[in-house]
Amino acid sequence: MSTTNAEPDAGQQQPARIELNPSLRDNVRLLGDLLGQTIKQHLGDDFFNTIEAIRQAAKTDRKVGSDELKGVLAKLSDDELVPVTRAFNQFLNLANIAEQYHFVRRKAPADELVANRLDTVETALDRLLKNGQDPAGILAALQDMHIDFVLTAHPTEITRRTLIQKYDAITETLKALDRDDLLKSESEGLRQILERLIAEVWHTDEIRQTRPTAVDEAKWGFSVIEYSLWEAVPGFYRQLDAVLTERIGEGLPPSVSPLRFTSWMGGDRDGNPNVTHAVSQEVLSLSRWMAADLFLRDIELLRAQLSMSTATEALRERVPGSNEPYRAMLTNLRVRLEATRSWARQVSTMDLPTYLREMKQLLSQDSTSRDVLLYDEELLEPLRLCYDSLTACGQSVIAKGPLLSTIYRVRTFGLSLVRLDIRQDSSRHREALREICNELGYGDYTSWSEAERQQFLVRELDSRRPLLPFDWQASEQVNEVLNTCRVIAAQPEGSIACYVISMASQPSDVLAVILLLRACGVTRNIPIVPLFETLADLEGAAESIDRLLNTEWYRSYTSGYQQVMIGYSDSAKDGGQMAAAWAQYQTQEALVATAERHKVRLTLFHGRGGTVGRGGGPANRAILSQPPGSVAGRLRITEQGEMIRFKFGQPAVAVQSFNLYVGAVLEATLAPPPDPEPEWRDTMTAMAKSVTTSYRALVKGNEDFVAYFRAATPEQELGKLALGSRPARRQIPPGETGGGVETLRAIPWIFAWTQMRLMLPAWLGSDIALQEAFSGGKRPVLEDMLDRWPFFQTHIDMLEMVLAKVDINIAASYEARLVEPHLHDIGQQLRERVMKLVVLVRELKNQDGLLADNPVFRLSLKVRDPYTDPLHYLQIELLARDRRQSADKRSTETVEKALKVSMAGVAAGMRNTG
């Protein structure tokens, strides 16, 4: 059984052979052996031998093209389904742990890091300096840099939190073993710890039994900060300081902190009825509770350390008569943090009227008349005073210890720990204004022209008269919108990052939000961020922002800063990945030009996902391929679902991720890529048009496509996985029929195709576009684009990575077992198209096989094959049984559980879900 037609044809030169690094191989083997021992102890030798027979059959099938694996799997009893599926799922999770640790270990080979696209700030600095960049300019760019990671709770994190904690402990144990000076007893003790942890993993249910609530999701985000980012952020800044000192002779000033963290968990109500004003209130309060608790731990440590008596007069004036002024200052801070923690817990579940009264009273007091800390400066100022005093008194070595780490944390996380974005659909705001205008006798707001809406909104924004009628009773939906605005109004400055509007295409969509916020008591100018998602939205984005900035009232509101969010998921689902990528590129160019024309500073907010079909891929390459001027030191980007764990779940991994982002933003700012040549633009435009036409012809134009999709993939069964608080499907508007792919969110759309290894959303249409370009004599142009244009290089490389995950034989097996024969033509056509695309990409890159220039990734996939293959074939059988038993209304508990585990296992093997 061959893998895909991604492999070279017979007679062609094979790609250079690459072996696993010995250390990585040893760790994979160690974890696998310990898992095998655990399974043997639990289920006996016979069952363990069954697992080994399945694994060997999978390897044989890959090597000689046999069907031995299907025969072995066919002999499994019902009782063996779940444990067999669990065994292969857990091996893949352990292999992922070993691989992730390998690339952050102290002794990781530099050439492997380069091969795996893992740049550092150090390598970025070296390139900039080599190309003549002024050191002062580099430091100024870092001081101006602002990178905001927006953590989102999209339902792609399939692994339970309790297992994530055990996996992290396994990583820490591998780290402890990674020393040459361990005594034999120490080494044996660590192996025993690994054995225990793997046994704990094996005896823990992989699958959540209940869906997490929106508050649960937020708490999961807090835990990533507590267990990883809290350590990683100061660690990265210290590393950056050392690199700057070595390379340009000047370190990182304590006042510089380019990293920020925001969250959509508890704030993203677009399409999620489970996120309410009460949820946002609770999440905002718990976030402050968590921040106070974490800073209290820091302060206790500092009180133990800062026992010095020598201090500046400025510090002594704040704690008169104290022989240990630093401890006295920190004791005062401890009292206030304890009060803050107690208060935050108390207000988290108050009813709204009580909460609003409590917050109003608190916000009206100045800092000296309350114990509760509300603003970051109230926490930062005494710490900075201690730092300055120690430095002035010749004790800078002490000042730059844990005290500086706490200062870094305050600047990065602050008293809100993680700021909250609020996201809502524009239609909800229009409905609110429709009800308000009807109540005031103004008529139907939704029937007005855009000019009439803008005129009304600006007039009301300038008015000193309250907008909301006294004692007016709004509908439940509108009242929820207004209550959300009231919760926002009650927050201290810095708690809310921005308000994102989905489906915002007109200036009135933005002005409407500002008016509703003002009507509910918001007095500060919160950034309002329109989100452009579909291809049509992207095409009209620059014009929409131009009209918005032409509104004098709004231009004054912005104070010279404008943020725009670009959606990646829905645009790709709308018209194909290549067309979406080109539309996003052109939109960014047009937005940069618009911002320059209006003399405002633009921040682009990239709504990327983890997979290529949702804008994912290596972050540094994506940043370096953006249009010139579109980064300019400022970047906001979503980190979604399982990618939060992969990028930030462990301190060393998070530091590596920070290196990638900061280095790439620095280079994109100081040495942006060139503008594309006119011929490149024409070629991309023609290909994008071809992609959209071809993509839509099948996905939206073939009446049998949805039936094929539902039958061939586990799309219908995804709802059985308790992945997140948000529904998998969008709500269908009244009067409309639903059920097509347009009602499906981008995440399950991609998840489903990934599970059966066709990866359709990331490549469909690109095959036709590249073939037409080749046939039209554009191959030399494409090769020039590939050689000199980072945008096109990155896109083709991401496409190649997707194609390497495609397996046409596995996809055909899903079809043969699960799809009605009259629909098989669709699958046959798709498999033929993807095989032709593999050939086109190989020809374009002049390679004999896929991933010839990325052997580390190629080997990573190959190592997983003997473990993912059984999961795929088990899943096929489980899907057939589950559907048959559901149709017969018989119990499917055992089959259902095994099916869920198979989905988790395939996701682990592919290293992503949606």
Q: Which of 154, 219, 897, 900 is catalytic?
A: 154
Alpha-helical regions (H) of 67-159: 68-74, 78-102, 110-115, 121-130, 135-144
Residues contacting residue 192 through CB under 8 Å, at least 6 positions apart: none
Q: Which H or E element spans position 644?
A: helix 642-648
Partners of 530 in the beta sheet? Answer: 501
Check the CA dihedral 382-385-391-395 and report its sign.
Answer: negative
557: left (phi over 0), alpha (psi -120 to 50) or beta: alpha
Q: Indicate if 573 belongs to the active site.
A: yes
How far is 223 from 227, CA to CA, in rounded Å? 6
| 890 φ, ψ (degrees, to nearest 5) | -100, 165
Pick the catalytic residue from 166, 429, 573, 778. Answer: 573
**Is-contact 228 651, C-beta < 8 A?**
yes
| Residues 642/263/148/568 CA torsion (nearest 10 deg) | 60
Q: Which of left, alpha, beta for 207 (phi over 0: left; psi -120 to 50: alpha)?
A: beta
Q: How many CB atoms lie under 10 A from the CB of residue 543?
A: 12
Torsion 56-57-58-59 (CA) sign = positive
State in Å, rounded, how far the first CA of the chain is from the last one.
Answer: 27
Sequence length of the chain is: 914
Distance between CA 480 and CA 474 in Å, rounded?
Answer: 9
> Which residue is associated with the tokens 């018989």?
890
> Could you tell me the two tokens for 669?
């700012």
Nearest-CA neighbor of 513 among 571, 430, 591, 587?
Answer: 430
Three-class secondary structure assignment of 418-467: CEEEEEEEHHHHHHHHHHHHHHHCCCCHHHCCHHHHHHHHHHHHHCCCCC
Quick check: 656 and 117 in contact, CB under 8 A? no
Which residues, listed in sequence order, are joined to residue 201 by a DSSP beta bridge?
none
| CA–CA separation, 906 and 900 (whole Å) | 10
Catalogue the active-site residues: 154, 573
